[in-house]
Amino acid sequence: MLTFLDVLFTGIHLLIICFNLFGWIWSATRKLHLICVGLTTFRWVVLGIWFGWGYCSITDYQWQIKEKLGEQNLPNSFIKYYADKLLHQDINALFMDTVTAVLFALAALISVYVNLRLRKLQT
pLDDT tens digit string along 61-109?
A: 999 999 999 999 999 999 999 999 999 999 999 999 999 999 999 999 9
pLDDT tier at 117, thresholds 50, 70, 90: confident
Rounded to two decimals, the pTM is 0.90
Q: Which of 26-35, 45-54, 75-84 has the lowest mean pLDDT?
A: 45-54
Dist CA 85 CA 15 (whole Å): 17
* End-to-end CA, the chain: 51
Q: What average pLDDT does the chain have?
A: 94
Burial annotation 9-33 (CB, 10 A radius, 16+ → b, else e): bbeebeebbebbbebbeeeeebeeb
